[in-house]
């Protein structure tokens, strides 16, 4: 039964994942954290972090990790099957929609309505990505979902500020992977001392 729920819920997520992985994060949070309660908000934050660090689209990586978490443990047959089903559910609607849109676009590409439709979707996609970005900043910099100085994680703010300063100082010469690794190591050291 859990496999059907995984497939169905990730089909819903995949169906409305217009704009890519970051745009789908608020919907993914609503379904897997708020509605289904499969993982906590802290685990969701960890899933997003791991999904960004691993190769591949963020939504598919997140679907795989959630599938493993919900269906079984890492390395078990149930966990692998859960990851495969959640990932397939996330991909399936997009696959069908892209096939349909490609056929329709190829057939009617000379119509001006198609250009208007594509231009109309852009602001909605930007707002979804901005919403996901704000949500990630709140999860990363505040200990509670309430934004206040009392719940501000000063270590996270300092790590964020140093990382941002490094990018500004070195511009395009600095590899983001090194900044992520250095921030992770600094976080391990600082949080273990607190």
User: What pLDDT digit, counting tens, does each position of 34-55 carry?
Assistant: 898 888 888 888 888 888 777 7
Which pLDDT belongs to residue 180? 83
Full-prediction pTM beyond 0.75? no
Q: In angstroms, rounded to a whole number, what is the distance separating the alpha carbons of residues 84 and 59? A: 13
Question: Nearest CA to 28 among 40, 18, 14, 8?
Answer: 14
Q: In angstroms, rounded to a whole number, what is the distance separating the alpha carbons of residues 58 and 176? A: 17
Look-up of token digits 């790590």: 159
What mean pLDDT value characterizes the chain? 83
For 122, counting Cβ atoms within 10 Å of its Cβ (0-12 exposed, 13-18 middle, 19+ buried), the class is exposed
């Amino acid at each position: 039964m859990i496999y059907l729920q995984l497939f169905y819920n990730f089909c819903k997520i995949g169906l409305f994942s217009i704009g890519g992985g970051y745009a789908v994060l608020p919907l993914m949070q609503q379904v897997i954290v708020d509605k289904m309660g499969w993982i906590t908000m802290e685990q969701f934050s960890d899933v997003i972090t791991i999904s960004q660090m691993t190769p591949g689209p963020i939504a598919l990586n997140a679907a795989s990790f959630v599938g493993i978490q919900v269906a079984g443990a890492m390395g078990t047959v149930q966990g692998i099957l859960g990851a495969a089903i959640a990932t397939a559910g996330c991909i399936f609607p997009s696959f069908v929609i892209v096939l349909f849109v490609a056929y329709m676009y190829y057939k009617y590409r000379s119509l001006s309505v198609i250009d208007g439709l594509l231009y109309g979707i852009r602001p909605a996609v930007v707002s979804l990505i901005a919403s996901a970005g704000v949500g990630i900043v709140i999860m990363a910099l505040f200990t509670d979902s309430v934004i206040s100085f009392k719940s501000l994680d000063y270590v996270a703010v300092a790590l964020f500020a140093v990382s941002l300063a490094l990018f500004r100082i070195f511009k395009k010469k600095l590899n983001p992977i090194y900044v992520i690794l250095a921030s992770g190591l600094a976080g391990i050291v600082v949080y273990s001392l607190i």
